[in-house]
A and B are shown apart, each in its own frame.
Chain A
C-alpha cells in the first residue's frame, strides 16, 4: 500500500548531486512528492529532505539505490512521530475592501506574517507542519490565490530528551 515517507539524506555538496538523485528517482519510476536541499553548517555537505509516495518494498529499494550513489553519505527514513517537519509557504491572495479584514483574520489565526500589502492583494507567509500549511491554503483559497510557492518539507529527527515542540 502506498503511503508518504520522509527521507533525510546527507550528501557531499558536489555539483550534480541533485541531478544524480532526481535522475535516480525518474529512471526507476520512484515518485517524489517534495524535495528540499541546501548546504549544512559544513559547506561540503548538504542535507535534503525527500518526501516520497511509495509502498514499503519500493521504499526499501529507494533507500538502497540512494545508498549506492557515491556522493551520498547517509539515508534515514524519519518516523513521523519522532521528527520535526516544517514547510514554508508564500501566498499572494487577492483582496477587496470587503474581504481584506477576513483574510487578515485568517492570517492572524495561523500566526502567518503579512509581507506585502497592495491595493488589492496581500502576500502571506507561514511556516508549519504540512498539515497546517494545507489547512491554511484551504482557508485562504476562497479569497482567491493569485500565486503560491512552497519549499517542500524539511525535517529533522528529534533529540533524545523526549517530545517537545516549540
Chain B
C-alpha cells in the first residue's frame, strides 16, 4: 500500500497503540496535521497553548500511564520550545517520542525560514534522535524510536522529519511493534547469590527505592522484598509511590529534604540497598559521610550508574522487576525487631511538622493532608518545582506507582501544569491535582486555557506565598537574608484569572476554609484553580545543605524579620 510520509507516520503511531498525542501545528508539519485530520477518529490530538506544555503533557501522560508519550511540533521555534520538556524527560528516564517537522531536504543547512538543527540541539538530551531524509526509511525509524524509548533504561527519542518527506510516498505495510527483550538480566547466578548473602547477613538493612521501581513496574516486588527483609524503606523524589507510604515500614524521603529518620537510618544501617536509583547529589550530599557503616548493594538496569556518583560494594544489573523476582525467591523471611524499633523511635521523635504563625494560618501540611484524606490517597499528584514539590512529596501519602508526577532530575519550574494535563488525559477516571507555587504557576499558566478548552478536570492548587520560596529559603540561610529577586508580590488576581479562562476559581486564606474548598473542587466536573494563600516564610524542613553530611539536617529555621 502506497502512503504519504505523513500517513505512514500516523499508521506507525497506530501500530504502537498510540491513541493520544499532544502538539502544536505549523508550516513544516502541515501534512502531518492534514493526516491527523483524516485519522481523527483513531488518534486524539490535544492542542496546548505552547509546545513546552505539549512536551510536558506527553511526559505526564507517560509517567502516569506507563505508556509512551507522543508530542508533535513544527520546525524551528516549535522544535526548540520542546527542548526543556525533552530534557525533563531525559533526566527522569521517561519514554517520550517527540516528532518535529523540518524544512524540506533541499532547504536544510541554508538557514531557511524556521529551520533549526534540532537533532544537533537535542543530542545531549535524548537517548537517541533521527532525521529522516528518505521517506522509505520513515516507518522503520518510527518503529525503532519507540523501541529505543522503552528498551533498557527508558528515555526520550526525537524524530525530525523534513516537510518533503511527509509529502512523498512509499510502500507501507503494517507491522507489530519490535518486541522488547524478553529477559533483562545482566548478572550471574554467583552475583545473585552474593547479593542474597549480603542481605541475609545484614542486621540493619535499609531499603531505598528510586524512579526505576516505577519505570519497571516493580512496586509489588519491592513490597515483597521489604516484607522479607523487615527493613525501613525510604524513597527518592522519583521513587514516590513505588512503595506504599502508608506502610509502617515507610520512613519518608531521603536526601536534602528527607526525614531525619531516614537520615539517621542511613547513618546507622549496615546494608544499604538502592533499587532503581542513581545516587544523585540531592540524595547522597556529602559522599564520604553517606552510609558510613554500610555495604552498598545497587540494583539497576543501567550499568553506567554503577560507581558513577558513589562507589558501591555489589551490583545486580538488570530489569528491577525481573531481578527482584529472582532475588526474593532466594531470601528467607527475616526479622530485625531491635532495628525496626530503633527506627520507629526516631520516627516518633522527629515527625514532619509545619506550624503556622497563628492558629488560623494555612500550612501546606494541613492542606495536603486534608487532600490526602479527602481523596483516600488515590489522586494523581503532579507538582511544579521548589517548595511546593517537596511539600507534596512529604505530606501527600502516595500509595501506588505512576501517581506522583514531578520533574526530579532537571527540576523544571513550569512542568506541572502541562504534566497534569497529560496525566488527566491518560487517566480520565482519576482525580489529578497539580501542586504549584505562585512562581512556577506564572511560568506556564497559559496552559489553563488547555484545561478550559477541553474541560480537563485538573485541580490547579497554587500555594501562593508571593515569593520564590525555595530560593528565598537558601538566601535566608546562606546569603545573609538578601532576598534578591525572589520577592514576587505580583498583583495577579487568581479568581479573575480563573474566570477569564473560564475556570472555576477558589481562594483559601484561612485554615477553616481548606476542607470546604477542597471538597467543592473535588466535586467540580471541570477544571479548578485554587489560590491558597500561605505565609512567605514556611520553609521546607528538614534540610541538609548541599555538600553537608546527610545525617545532620537542619530541623528548624528561625524567622527573625
Residues of B within 8 Å of A60, CB to CB, are 307
Let me know if B128 and A70 touch, CB within 8 A: yes
Q: Which residue of B lies closest to A60 (CB)?
A: B307
Contact with B along A57-100 (1 / 0, CB 8 A): 10011001101111100000000000000000000000000000
Taking the closest CB of chain A, its distance from the CB of B555, in whole angstroms, is 35
Q: Least Cβ distance of A63 to chain B in Å?
A: 9
In the complex, chain A residues whose CB is within 8 Å of the CB of B124: 23-24, 27
Q: Is B304 an interface residue (CB 8 A)?
A: yes
Listed residue (A16, A19, A70, A71) with the most chain B CB atoms within 10 angstroms of its CB: A70
Q: Give Cα A65 to B304, complex, Å.
A: 6
Q: A70-B128, A70-B148 are in contact. Are A61 and B308 (CB under 8 A)?
A: yes
Q: Does A20 contact B (CB under 8 A)?
A: yes
- State A19–B119 Cα separation when bound (angstroms): 11
Cβ-based interface call for B120 (8 A): yes
Interface pair B120/A19, CB less than 8 Å apart: yes
Report B-chain residues with C-beta under 8 Å of the C-beta of A71: 128
Find A57's partner among B119, B123, B307 (CB 8 Å cutoff). Answer: B307
Closest approach, in angstroms, between the C-beta of B128 and any C-beta of chain A?
4
Contact A16 B128, beta carbon cutoff 8 Å? no
- Which residues of A lie under 8 Å from residue B128 when comparing CB positions? 69-71
CB-contacts of B113-155 with A (<8 A): 119-120, 123-124, 127-128, 148, 153
List B residues 148-176 near A (Cβ within 8 Å).
148, 153
> Is residue B547 within 8 Å, beta carbon to beta carbon, of the partner chain?
no
Contact partners of A70 in chain B: CB under 8 A: 127-128, 148
Q: How far is the CB of B418 from chain A (nearest CB, A)?
A: 26
B292 at the interface (CB under 8 A from A): no
Q: Do B127 and A16 touch (CB < 8 A)?
A: no
B303 at interface by CB-CB < 8 Å? yes
Residue of B119, B148, B303 near A64 (CB, 8 A) is: B303
Whether A23 lies near B123 (C-beta < 8 A) is yes
Number of A-B contacts (CB under 8 A): 30
Count contacts on A: residues with CB < 8 A to the other chain: 16
Q: Is the pair B303, A20 in contact by a Cβ cutoff of 8 Å?
A: no
Residues of B contacting A23 with CB < 8 Å?
Answer: 123-124
Instruction: Kindly identify which residue among B123, B148, B153, B302 contacts A20, using a CB–CB cutoff of 8 Å.
Output: B123
Q: Which residues of chain A are within 8 angstroms of B123 by Cβ–Cβ distance?
A: 16, 19-20, 23
A9 to chain B, nearest CB (A): 16
- Expressed in whole angstroms, the Cα–Cα distance for A20 and B302 within the complex equals 19
Contacts of A61 in B (CB 8 A): 304, 307-308
- Give 1 or 0 for each of B281-314: 1 = CB within 8 Å of chain A CB: 0000000000000000000001110111000000
Q: How far is the CA of A69 from the CA of B119 in the complex (A)?
A: 14
**What is the distance, in angstroms, from A110's C-beta to the closest C-beta of chain B?**
42
Specify which of B119, B303, B304, B308 is in contact with A16 (CB 8 Å cutoff): B119
Looking at A27, A64, A67, the one whose CB has the most chain B CB atoms below 10 A away is A64
Q: Mark A11-31, 1 if CB is under 8 A from B, else 0.
A: 000001001100110010000
Q: Which residue of A lies closest to B144 (CB)?
A: A70
CB-CB under 8 A from A65, the residues of chain B are 304
Chain B residues within an 8 Å CB radius of A20:
123
Query: How far is A68 from B124 in the complex, measured between Cα atoms in Å?
Result: 12
The distance from the CB of A12 to the nearest CB of chain B, in whole angstroms, is 11
**Closest B residue to A24 using CB positions:** B124
Residues of B within 8 A of A24 (CB): 124
Nearest B residue to A16 via CB reads B119
Among residues of A, the one whose C-beta sits closest to the C-beta of B124 is: A27
Q: How far is the CA of A75 from the CA of B123 in the complex (A)?
A: 20
- The interface residues of chain A lying within 8 Å CB-to-CB of B304 are 61, 64-65, 67-68
Complex CA gap A82/B307 in Å reads 28
B235 → A minimal CB distance (Å):
25
The complex places the Cα of A15 from the Cα of B119 at a distance, in Å, of: 11
Docked pose: A69 CA to B123 CA in angstroms: 10
- In the complex formed, the residue of A with least CB distance to B303 is A64
Q: Kindly name the residue among B304, B307, B308 whose own CB sees the greatest number of chain A CB atoms within 10 A.
A: B304
Residues of A within 8 A of B302 (CB): 68
Closest 4 CB pairs of A and B: A64-B304, A70-B128, A64-B303, A27-B124
A19-B120, A61-B307, A64-B303 known, 13 other contacts, Cβ within 8 Å: A16-B119, A16-B123, A19-B123, A23-B124, A61-B304, A61-B308, A64-B304, A64-B306, A68-B153, A68-B304, A70-B127, A70-B128, A70-B148
16 A-B interface contacts by CB (under 8 A) = A16-B119, A16-B120, A16-B123, A24-B124, A61-B304, A61-B308, A64-B304, A64-B306, A65-B304, A67-B303, A67-B304, A68-B127, A68-B153, A68-B302, A69-B128, A70-B148
